Amino acid sequence: MHTRRGNGRYPRPNNHHPQINGPQVAMPEDVIGRQRIQERPTLLECSPRRRDMLLGTDMKEWMTFGSEKDFTETPADFIDADQLAQFLKLTQQKHEEHISEQVKFTLHNRANPYEDIRNLCFVSRCGPKLASLDKMFDFRITGETDYKKRAAKTPIVDGLHADNTLSRDDPPFIFADIGGAPGGFSDYILWRKGFYNAKGFVSFATSERSFGYNHSRMLPGNAECLDFHTGPVENGNHNCVENVDAYINHVKSELRRHNPDGEETVDFVGAFMCLTRDGHEMEQEFRHEKMLLGNIVTGLSLLKLNGNMLVRVFDLFTPVTVGLVYCLYLAFKQIAVVKPITCRPGNSEQFIFCEKLTPFGATIIKDHLTEVLCSWDDLPEGETVASLVPLTLMKDDARFFDYIYKHNMTTVDRQTRYIQFYLLCARDQRIRVPDSDKIIKVALAHWELKPCPRKGKPRFHQIPDIKAIIAMYADEHWNPETFTAKPSNFNLSDFNAATSFYASELDFPAVEFALVAINSTGTVFYAIDAETGFVETQFTGPPSSIFLVENNPSLFAPDMDQLVIHDAAVLSGDNLADLPFPQRMKVARKFAITAIMQLPEGTNVKLTVPEIKEISVLQITENQKIAESCRISRKDSSFWANLIPGGSWLKD
C-alpha cells in the first residue's frame, strides 16, 4: 500500500533516495508535487515614482558593448554563485549523456506526469501550455474573464454545444503572435475566443533552426482567422530591424485596410519566437538575447495602451536578459515571471506576463529598446551588446532585484532536482512518476479544458456537401428550385406606411447578388440562381458560413480583391438568420475584420460591409434612385425571407 506525505497528492514510488554523483536525489512528489496545479503567480509592480525619476534620462548612455560570450562566462549577479555553478555543471552532464530523441521521448513520459497531456485538440503542446497560463492569470491573457461567456463558447460539459450569443456584441480581439510556431498558442486563443471573435497576425520564420508553423492541423476555422507574415531578411527572425519593421508595418497596414477608422494597435501580444535547441541547450540564453530584444520591440510597437503581453524567455542570468526584464517592469503596470507546470521542469523555458502597458512603456522604453536593436545591427561580427540597463540601477532597485534573485533561486533549485531525477530515470527503467492520469484529469478541469479528439471538433458539423450545409441552416422560405438573387422590386400597394426598412448602398447599382456558402472544410461556393446552382471556387474561408454579397464582373476571379457583404445567415457556425437585420449587419462587420478569405497562394480578399440607414416607405417609392442604388431589407425579416426578391415578406 502506498504511503503519502507533503500535500498528499502523489504517492511515493519507493522508500529510498538514490544517488547520482554524490547529492541526494529528490523523489517525484518533491519535484512535481510541490508545484500545485492551482498555480498562483507573484506579481511585481513598478511604482510611478521610479518611472518619474527616469524621465529625462539619456538611455543611450546605458548601453555597453563587448565580445560574444558562452555559458562558461554566465555571471552570478542575480543568483547564488554556488547554486549557479552546480546547475550549469548538472545541465552540461545531462547534455553530454547523448540520449537519443526516442529515448528522450520515453523519459519525458516517465519523469513528468504532465507530458501525457500532449497537445489535446490543439496543433501542439503550446495550446495546453497557454491554457494553464491563461488560467493562472484569471483568463486575462485572452480577455475571457466573464465565466458565463467563456463557458458558453467553450463548454467542457459533454452534450453542450458552443454558443456565441453572449459574445456577439463584444469588439473583436486582435492579437499578434510573434513566432509561436507550430501554432498551438494561436490555436488556443482562437478556440477560447470562439467563432469570429478574434483575429491574429502571425510572424513566422523560415529557417531550419526555427520552428515551422503548421496551420493546416489547427482546429477548423482557426487558420481562417490568422494573417501570416515573414520578414524579408534571411529567415525572417525578429533579430534585425528590417524584419521587425516589416512585420509592424504589415500589421498596421492590414488594420487600416479593414478598419480605416480604427486603431492601429492590438489587444494582446505573444512574443514567442525562438530557435530550436539544435544541440546548443547550454547557450540558449546567450543565443536568444537579440531575438528577445526584437520580440519585445515588436510587441511594444503594436500593443495598445493597457494591453497585455506574454514573453517567452529562458534563463535569466545575463545583464542583457535581466535588463530586458527590467525594461518590461518599467513599461507595464505589473509583471510576473513564471514557469508553469506545463513547461517541462528540466528545461529553462519560462514566461513573463506583462499587464497593462503604460504610456512610459509605449514611448520611452520602446524608443530606447529600438535604439539598442539598431545599434546591435551595426556592430561588427563577434561584437555584441553587453548591457542595456546599468547593473547598478537594477541592483539598487531592491524590489526588482529581490524578485529576480528569489525567482532564479527557486526555479533553478527545482530545475536542478528535476534534472537529477531525469538522469536517474535514464539509468533505471523501473522508475516513473505515479498517478499521471489522475493528475491530468484534475489539471484539465482546473484549466477548463477537456480531452478531445483531432476529428469531430466542436462548432462545425463535418459536412463537405454545400447543399447539405444550406439545407441544415435554411428555413421554410428557402427553395433551391426557384432561388434567384436579383434586386427587390417594390410596389406601393404592398406596404403599410409604418413598415420599417433599411437600405445598404451598392458599389455597382442595380446589380444582382450572389449567395456565398462555405462548407465545413473551408471551401467557398457561390450561387446566383437556381439554374446555375452552386459553383465551387479556389478560395477558402471560415467554415460553415453563409452570406449574401454583391455580384460583379470580378466575383471570385483570381484578381478579386474585395467582397461586399449585404446580409448574413451563418458566420463561422454562428446562426444569425433570425436576428433583426441591423444586428446581422453589425455582426457581419465584426466578421469582416476577423475573417480571412484567400486564394491558395495566400492572396487575401478584403471583406467589407456597407453602412445601413433606416428609410420610410415613401422614400423608397418616391425616389427610384434608392431602389436602384441600394439593397432594401426589412428590419424584422429573417435572412432567408429577406432573400426573396419582391416576395410576401414585404407585405403586412
Task: Please give the pLDDT value at position 1.
Answer: 35
- Can you point out the beta strands (E) in 367-420? 383-387
Say whether pLDDT at 233 is over 60.
Answer: yes
DSSP state of 108: H
pLDDT digits (tens, 9 = 90+) for 74-99: 999 999 999 999 999 988 888 777 77
pLDDT: which is higher, 487 or 88: 88
User: Contact, 69 vs 286, CB < 8 A?
Assistant: yes
Task: Please give the pLDDT value at position 17.
Answer: 39
% of the chain residues with pLDDT over 70: 86
Q: How far is CA 57 from the centre of its chain?
A: 36
How far is 617 from 568, CA to CA, in rounded Å?
A: 24
Say whether pLDDT at 464 is over 80.
Answer: no
% of the chain residues with pLDDT over 90: 54
Q: How confident is the model at residue 491 (pLDDT cuts 50, 70, 90)?
A: low
The stretch 389-393 carries a mean pLDDT of 97
Say whether pLDDT at 645 is over 60.
Answer: no
The distance between the two most distant Cα atoms of the chain, rounded to a whole number of Å, is: 97
User: 10-19, 302-311, 459-468: which has the highest mean pLDDT?
Assistant: 302-311
Torsion sign over Cα 613, 619, 621, 627: negative
Q: Nearest to residue 407, comparing CAs of 476, 313, 475, 472?
A: 313
The stretch 464-479 carries a mean pLDDT of 87
| Distant-in-sequence, close-in-space partners of 157: CB < 8 Å, separation ≥ 6 | none
Instruction: Name 18's bridge partners.
Output: none
Task: Please give the pLDDT value at position 463.
Answer: 63
Task: Please give the pLDDT value at position 430.
Answer: 81
Say whether pLDDT at 333 is over 80.
Answer: yes
How far is 296 from 309, CA to CA, in rounded Å?
A: 9
pLDDT: which is higher, 575 or 101: 575
User: Contact, 439 vs 37, CB < 8 A?
Assistant: yes
User: 259-263, 281-285, 409-413: which has the highest mean pLDDT?
Assistant: 409-413
Task: Please give the pLDDT value at position 65.
Answer: 95
The stretch 289-318 carries a mean pLDDT of 97
Helix (H) or strand (E) holding 440: helix 436-446
pLDDT digits (tens, 9 = 90+) for 25-51: 445 454 454 447 888 999 999 999 999
Q: How confident is the model at residue 407 (pLDDT cuts 50, 70, 90)?
A: very high
Task: Please give the pLDDT value at position 627.
Answer: 66
User: Contact, 182 vs 123, CB < 8 A?
Assistant: yes
User: Contact, 335 vs 353, CB < 8 A?
Assistant: yes
User: Contact, 541 vs 224, CB < 8 A?
Assistant: yes
Q: How confident is the model at residue 633 (pLDDT cuts 50, 70, 90)?
A: confident
What is the chain's mean pLDDT, rounded? Answer: 85
Task: Please give the pLDDT value at position 648.
Answer: 37
- Can you point out the beta strands (E) in 153-225? 173-178, 198-203
Q: What domains are there in the chain, each with its CATH number? A: 28-146+172-446 (3.40.50.12760), 466-650 (3.30.470)
Say whether pLDDT at 159 is over 70.
Answer: yes
**Can the peptide bond before residue 182 be classed as cis, meaning omega within 30 degrees of 0?**
yes
HSE value, Cβ hemisphere, 13 Å, CA-based, for 193: 30
> How many Å is the Cα radius of gyration of the chain?
28
Q: Nearest to residue 432, comparing CAs of 105, 211, 89, 113?
A: 113
The stretch 179-204 carries a mean pLDDT of 94
Say whether pLDDT at 57 is over 70.
Answer: yes
By CB atoms closer than 10 A (0-12, 13-18, 19+), residue 626 is middle
| Distant-in-sequence, close-in-space partners of 147: CB < 8 Å, separation ≥ 6 | none
Q: How confident is the model at residue 277 (pLDDT cuts 50, 70, 90)?
A: low
By CB atoms closer than 10 A (0-12, 13-18, 19+), residue 359 is exposed
How far is 339 from 317, CA to CA, in rounded Å?
A: 15
pLDDT digits (tens, 9 = 90+) for 109-152: 787 888 888 888 899 999 999 999 999 999 999 999 999 999 99
How far is 128 from 341, CA to CA, in rounded Å?
A: 10
**Pairing of the two strands 198-203 and 44-45:** unpaired
User: Contact, 566 vs 504, CB < 8 A?
Assistant: yes
How far is 421 from 31, CA to CA, in rounded Å?
A: 8
Q: How confident is the model at residue 436 (pLDDT cuts 50, 70, 90)?
A: confident
User: Contact, 513 vs 550, CB < 8 A?
Assistant: yes
Torsion sign over Cα 454, 456, 460, 465: positive
How far is 365 from 490, CA to CA, in rounded Å?
A: 61
Angle at Cα 26 formed by Cα 24 and Cα 29, nearest 5°? 165
Q: Which residues of 51-80 are buried (b: 16+ CB within 10 A; e: fewer)?
A: beeeeeeebeebbeeeeeeebeebeebbbe
User: Contact, 636 vs 511, CB < 8 A?
Assistant: no
Out of 41-55, 265-279, 363-377, 562-576, which region has the weakest mean confidence (pLDDT)?
A: 265-279
User: Contact, 260 vs 244, CB < 8 A?
Assistant: no
| Distant-in-sequence, close-in-space partners of 374: CB < 8 Å, separation ≥ 6 | 241
- As a residue count, the chain comes to 652
Task: Please give the pLDDT value at position 158.
Answer: 78
> Residue 451 in 3-state DSSP?
coil
pLDDT: which is higher, 510 or 214: 214
Angle between helices 366-377 and 319-331 (to 10 degrees): 150
Ramachandran region of residue 125, left (φ > 0), alpha (ψ -120 to 50) or beta? alpha
Q: Nearest to residue 58, comparing CAs of 367, 321, 373?
A: 367
Q: How far is CA 38 from the centre of its chain?
A: 23
Say whether pLDDT at 192 is over 80.
Answer: yes
How far is 345 from 347, CA to CA, in rounded Å?
A: 6
Instruction: Name 303's bridge partners.
Output: 266
| Residue 111 CA: distances (Å) to CA of 22, 29, 349, 611 | 21, 11, 17, 59
pLDDT digits (tens, 9 = 90+) for 533-567: 999 999 999 999 999 999 888 899 988 989 999 99
